[in-house]
Amino acid sequence: MALLFLQRHSFLLHLLFLLALLPPFTHQIQQQRHHPKINTVDLNALIAIKNSLIELPTTSFFSTWDVTASDPCSSFSGVTCALDPFSVTLRVTILTLGTGLYDSSRLAGSLSNSIANLTELTQLILSPGMVTGPIPPQLGRLRNLRVLSLTNNCLTGTIPDSLSALKNLHTLDLSYNQHTGSIPPGLTKLPELKVLILASNSLSGELPTVSAQLLHLDLKSNRFTGLLPPSMPLSLRYLSLSDNIMWGPLNGLESLSELVYLDLSMNKFSGPIPTSLFFSTTLSSLFLQRNNLSGRVPQQQEGPTAIEWGGVHRRLEPQFFNWGIINGSCWCRELVLK
């Protein structure tokens, strides 16, 4: 009996000891919630990103990136954080490298693989500068990413296939770089992708099928070849394929009733212009110059489909269009056929 009594009391004493530890622990959690610190992995990633980039003369973007600061989330330029309720730490959700202002903070160097450690990132924006090298394929691990903009730099290499894993991506802008190769087929089929801008690179190959939800597609000034895709997203509002090496008839454009801007200039397209383009109630800019198109511009009567430009209807006079002759008239804000 005495042994049993001691065992029971020993258990109670042990339990009381553990309960005595709870108030300080709870207080510590409350303190973390009131004064959360940046996640250590994220902080180390930011340090690696800074070390991989170089500030060009007159640039001082990283002057606020003091790694000893008590709250990097509020003091680091271009960094936005949010509280992770599970780890009770601050996680980087938006990273903007550079200010994006003309003649201001410009960066060189390369993109660090450590960006992929910022696993809560929703926006990654690299402002125009002279950053070189490839896009780290590890960026495909950023499953929460919605905006990826690396425009106007000197990035090289192919577009990583791994970016096709970014199922939440809404906007991808890799324009005005030096990318080569073809577009990864899975990239244009991302379910949430609305804006795809790959203009002014050295991309080649035929255009893959694109997401049915796409609103904005800009692939101008590349080396794409072949025919227009047999089906284009009905939701498309902006389409620029200018300055490529594409050919064939302008098939499939009749169904694009939401188009506001269409530029197919400086290719090798041939045949007639779809009549529907001239009767569109949404199209305000149409560029078809320097192709091999032929036929007539249909006569359009004034009415609800006529488009006003500054309150004045502008008449399209007969124009010579390469080796074909375009005749007729059209109401349009901006129509270039020369």
Q: Which of 91-95, 164-168, 304-308 has the lowest mean pLDDT?
A: 304-308
Judge whether 327 and 296 are in contact, CB under 8 Å: yes
Task: State yes or no: pLDDT of 326 exceeds 80.
Answer: no
Q: Which of 101-105, 126-130, 274-278 has the lowest mean pLDDT?
A: 101-105
- Report which of residues 139 and 85 the model is more confident about: 139
Give the model confidence (pLDDT) of 243-268 as tens digits. 999 999 999 999 999 999 999 999 99
Task: State yes or no: pLDDT of 292 exceeds 50.
Answer: yes
Terminal C-alpha separation, the chain: 107
For 283-303, letters b (16+ CB in 10 Å) and e give bbbbbbbbbebebebeebeee
List domains and CATH numbers for the chain.
35-295 (3.80.10.10)
Structure tokens at 263: 């530029």
> What pLDDT does 183 receive?
98
Across the chain, what does the average pLDDT equal? Answer: 83
At 139 the three-state DSSP class reads helix
What is the C-alpha to C-alpha distance for residues 338 and 335, in angstroms, rounded to an integer? Answer: 9
> What pLDDT does 8 receive?
47
Structure tokens at 154: 């000197």
At 332 the three-state DSSP class reads coil
Average of pLDDT values for 134-155? 98
Average of pLDDT values for 270-288? 91
Which uninterrupted H or E stretch holds 43? helix 40-52
At 252 the three-state DSSP class reads coil
pTM of the model as a whole: 0.82
What Å distances lie between residue 305 and 211, 270, 277, 282, CA to CA? 29, 26, 11, 9
Residue 1 half-sphere exposure toward CB, CA atoms < 13 A: 0
How many of the other CB atoms lie within 10 Å of CB of 279? 15
At 209 the three-state DSSP class reads coil
What Å distances lie between residue 75 and 38, 70, 71, CA to CA? 12, 9, 6
Average of pLDDT values for 289-311? 60
